[in-house]
């Protein structure tokens, strides 16, 4: 990600893509807006032009008959301008907000399909900025810039025509001065674009940092790290300040440069034009009409110069957004992949090797889960147990060997059918800020209230649910904060029960629980596992003794396997881990007042 961040695509490529993919379908509407912009520009030029008859005929020749006609024309010009401006603003607002909504949707769709590995490599801040802030910047570019660019350019075009009509020699002088002004301005524009892009990268960092802080707020308080976090925040915020300030400083140079150049132009014109009026070569009306046109052209030109910066910022943002839209999942259906039909549900690993970004996590793992039976994975943390589970639903693909279900390689079947066949209960329960019922039905959205309740009962969750204010309709809070760890875990088991998949993956599903809720959850899990192929990772070895087969893992490899009794008899790692745990958990309850 960060590599593509620094590599700037050519402007033309970005603009071309924006036009093709996001803007083209709105061109009919935008044509209407352009028509209104044309009216605005024409009306503006009209009153610059009206200055000539006002001066020459009303003020100098004192022609009374022209007074009301010209006044009416001035009024009409203002009215047309006002209405047309309203029309184009409304149309462009609608189109640009529509484009923003479309792009957000595209980014979201692309991200939600991205590989897990992508999420590990990209901060939440970056992703949220990609969906939200960057898209807003793009809107500024697409809408405001486009609007003003068309409107301002048309206005300038009309005014310049009027200037040529009034005095072509003088107009030529002006035409030479203004483009000169744009040279330094465009150079600064490029600088602004680069700096803006760095500032946004920094903003993403700050966003990510803050979201991390607030999610971990309990731990920060518990460890008394508020000061240190505040210091870290200060560093980040200061870095952001510096980046934004540098962008703004570069930007700030643009207006003054334009203004000084405009001043020079106006002074030149007064000397030259004034001389011509004094010599009688042109009328005062024509001269003032010219000056009016020039002054009216100044603002749109200035906008144009500023808008170039907006456009540059927008392009940098568009580039970041495109990076996200272009994220392609590597894990996807193979050409002609068939649906997996789980018949027996035999899961096997054949000499599987896997690495997280070059760091080996599994090295030659071979294991078999008997169809409908239970296999347990035990071993020290970091041994690769969760990794084994992750490979079954293809959260990642193996680097070597194969994972098979009923003999078919998981890479040869469709992802949707594969994942339909699997229910996962892990230690980190993902609850969404919705009702209890909706959270249970997450994996089966059409489930009836009766089915949801049955699943909750099987997961030993029904009783606590009906005690919640609102019962099944109670909203659980963000990530389920309104529930205890054990309650969350039981909801996730109910979810897995309702999913009713033939293969069940349990990753330390009970390790976050106290012993009372663990007992309840354990009973629910045993019920759930009945008749399903189950792969269970358990921290407490007492819970795996019943498994048909136990695989002991260490440092990414299976080091022992067999039944509980066999492994104990063998006196290897399993027996050692077991004896550690039994001394850890003294069988005699401690005296009251201890805990
Ligand atoms: N997303 C990840 N990115 C990089 N390394 C990872 C990732 N997840 C796990 N690992 C590493 O892979 C190894 C195995 O991890 P894991 O399967 O989670 O172990 P276990 O579940 O047995 O505790 C560990 O060394 C861990 O640091
Ligand atoms: Mg684990």
| Residue in 44, 579, 588, 593 with CA at minimum distance from that of residue 297 | 44
Q: Ligand 1: which of 115, 354, 361 to mutate, judged by most atoms within 8 Å of the beta carbon?
A: 361
The CATH 3.40.50.300 portion of the chain extends over 333-421+546-587
Contact assessment for residue 435 and residue 478, using Cβ atoms and an 8 Å cutoff: no
Over range 486-509, report the average pLDDT.
Answer: 89
Indicate which residue's Cα is closest to atom 1 of ligand 1.
120
Indicate which residue's Cα is closest to atom 7 of ligand 1.
356
- Mapped onto helix, strand or coil, the DSSP state of residue 58 is helix
**Ligand 1 pocket member 387 (CB < 6 A):** yes
Write the pLDDT tens digit of every residue in 122-166. 888 788 887 888 888 888 877 777 777 788 889 999 999 999 999
55 pLDDT above the threshold of 60: yes
576 pLDDT above the threshold of 80: yes
**Least confident window among 225-239, 258-272, 278-292, 366-380:** 258-272
Mean pLDDT, the chain, rounded, equals 86
| Residue in 429, 367, 357, 359 with CA at minimum distance from that of residue 392 | 367
Contact assessment for residue 576 and residue 403, using Cβ atoms and an 8 Å cutoff: no
Question: Which residues make beta-bridge pairs with 426?
Answer: 507
Indicate which residue's Cα is closest to atom 24 of ligand 1.
382
- Mapped onto helix, strand or coil, the DSSP state of residue 218 is helix
The CATH 1.20.1560.10 portion of the chain extends over 2-325
Contact assessment for residue 562 and residue 570, using Cβ atoms and an 8 Å cutoff: yes
**Ligand 1 pocket member 384 (CB < 6 A):** yes
Report the separation in Å between the CA atom of 365 and the middle of ligand 1, taken as the mean of its atom positions.
Answer: 15
The structure tokens listed for 108 are: 């979201």
User: Which has more confidence, 206 or 175?
Assistant: 206
Over range 48-53, report the average pLDDT.
Answer: 93
User: Which has more confidence, 585 or 348?
Assistant: 348
Amino acid 546: pLDDT: 84
Amino acid 582: pLDDT: 66
What are the DSSP calls for 369-410, one per residue? E-TT-EEEEE-STTSSHHHHHHHTTTSS--SEEEEEETTEEG
CA distance 437 to 449: 8
What CATH number is given for 333-421+546-587 in this structure?
3.40.50.300
CA distance 408 to 420: 15
Contact assessment for residue 313 and residue 137, using Cβ atoms and an 8 Å cutoff: yes
CA distance 466 to 368: 41
**Least confident window among 92-96, 207-211, 227-231, 480-484:** 480-484
The structure tokens listed for 180 are: 């000169």
Report the separation in Å between the CA atom of 426 and the middle of ligand 2, taken as the mean of its atom positions.
Answer: 9
**Ligand 1 pocket member 383 (CB < 6 A):** yes
Q: Ligand 1: which of 352, 353, 357, 386 to mutate, judged by most atoms within 8 Å of the beta carbon?
A: 386
Q: How confident is the model at residue 591 (pLDDT cuts 50, 70, 90)?
A: very low
Indicate which residue's Cα is closest to atom 5 of ligand 1.
356
Q: Percent of the chain, pLDDT > 70?
A: 95
CA distance 194 to 246: 11
Indicate which residue's Cα is closest to atom 27 of ligand 1.
382
Q: What pTM did the predictor assign?
A: 0.76
> Could you say which of 3.40.50.720, 3.30.1330.10, 1.20.1560.10, 3.40.50.1820 is the CATH number of the domain covering 2-325?
1.20.1560.10
Which ligand has the minimum distance to the alpha carbon of residue 384? 1
Among all chains, which residue has been given the structure tokens 């590995």? 117
**Ligand 1 pocket member 386 (CB < 6 A):** yes
Q: Do strands 549-554 and 557-562 pair parallel, antiparallel, or not at all (unpaired)?
A: antiparallel
Q: How confident is the model at residue 583 (pLDDT cuts 50, 70, 90)?
A: low
Among all chains, which residue has been given the structure tokens 């992802």? 415
Over range 244-273, report the average pLDDT.
Answer: 84
């Amino acid at each position: 990600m960060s590599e593509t961040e620094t590599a700037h695509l050519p402007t033309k490529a970005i603009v071309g893509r924006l036009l093709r993919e996001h803007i083209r379908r709105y061109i009919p509407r935008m044509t209407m807006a352009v028509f209104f912009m044309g009216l605005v520009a024409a009306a503006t030029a009209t009153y610059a032009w009206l200055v000539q008859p006002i001066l020459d005929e009303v003020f100098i020749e004192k022609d009374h008959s022209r007074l009301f006609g010209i006044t009416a024309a001035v009024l009409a010009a203002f009215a047309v301008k006002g209405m047309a401006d309203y029309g184009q603003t409304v149309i462009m607002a609608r189109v640009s907000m529509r484009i923003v909504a479309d792009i957000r949707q595209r980014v979201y769709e692309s991200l939600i399909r991205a590989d897990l590995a992508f999420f590990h490599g990209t901060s939440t801040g970056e992703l949220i900025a990609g969906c939200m802030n960057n898209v807003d910047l793009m809107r500024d570019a697409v809408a405001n810039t486009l609007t003003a660019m068309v409107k301002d350019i048309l206005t300038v075009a009309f005014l310049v025509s009027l200037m040529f009509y009034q005095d072509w020699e003088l107009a030529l002088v002006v035409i030479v001065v203004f483009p000169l002004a744009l040279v330094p301005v465009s150079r600064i524009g490029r600088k602004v674009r680069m700096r803006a892009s760095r500032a946004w990268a920094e903003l993403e960092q700050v966003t990510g940092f803050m979201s991390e802080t607030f999610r971990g707020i309990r731990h920060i308080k518990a460890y008394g790290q508020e000061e240190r976090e505040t210091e870290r925040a200060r560093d980040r915020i200061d870095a952001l300040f510096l980046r934004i300030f540098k962008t703004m400083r570069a930007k700030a140079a643009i207006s003054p440069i334009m203004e000084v150049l405009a001043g020079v132009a106006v002074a030149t014109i007064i000397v030259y034009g004034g001389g011509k009026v004094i010599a009688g070569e042109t009328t005062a009306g024509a001269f003032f009409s010219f000056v009016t046109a020039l002054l009216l052209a100044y603002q749109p030109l200035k906008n144009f110069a500023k808008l170039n910066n907006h456009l540059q910022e927008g392009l940098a943002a568009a580039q970041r957004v495109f990076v996200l839209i272009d994220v392609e999942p590597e894990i996807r259906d193979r050409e002609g992949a068939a649906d997996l039909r789980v018949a027996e549900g035999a899961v096997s690993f054949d000499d599987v090797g896997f690495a997280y970004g070059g760091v080996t996590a599994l090295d030659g793992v071979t294991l078999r889960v008997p169809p409908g039976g239970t296999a347990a994975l035990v071993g020290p943390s970091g041994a690769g147990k969760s990794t084994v589970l992750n490979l079954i639903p293809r959260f990642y693909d193996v680097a070597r060997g194969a994972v098979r279900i009923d003999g078919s390689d998981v890479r040869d079947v469709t992802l949707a059918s594969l994942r339909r066949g699997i229910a996962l209960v892990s230690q980190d329960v993902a609850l969404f800020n919705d009702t209890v019922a909706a959270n249970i039905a997450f994996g089966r959205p059409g489930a009836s209230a009766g089915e949801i309740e049955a699943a909750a009962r099987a997961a030993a969750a029904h009783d606590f649910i009906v005690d919640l204010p609102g019962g099944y309709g109670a909203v659980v809070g963000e990530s389920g904060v309104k529930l205890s760890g054990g309650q969350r875990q039981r909801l996730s088991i109910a979810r897995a029960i309702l999913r009713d998949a033939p293969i069940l993956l349990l990753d330390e599903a009970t390790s976050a629980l106290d012993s009372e809720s663990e007992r309840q959850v354990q009973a629910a899990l045993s019920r759930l596992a009945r008749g399903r192929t189950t792969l269970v990772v358990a921290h407490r070895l007492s819970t795996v003794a019943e498994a048909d087969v136990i695989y002991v893992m260490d440092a990414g490899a299976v080091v022992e396997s067999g039944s509980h009794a066999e492994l104990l008899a063998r006196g290897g790692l399993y027996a050692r881990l077991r004896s550690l745990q039994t001394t850890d958990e003294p069988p005699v309850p401690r005296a009251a007042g201890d805990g």
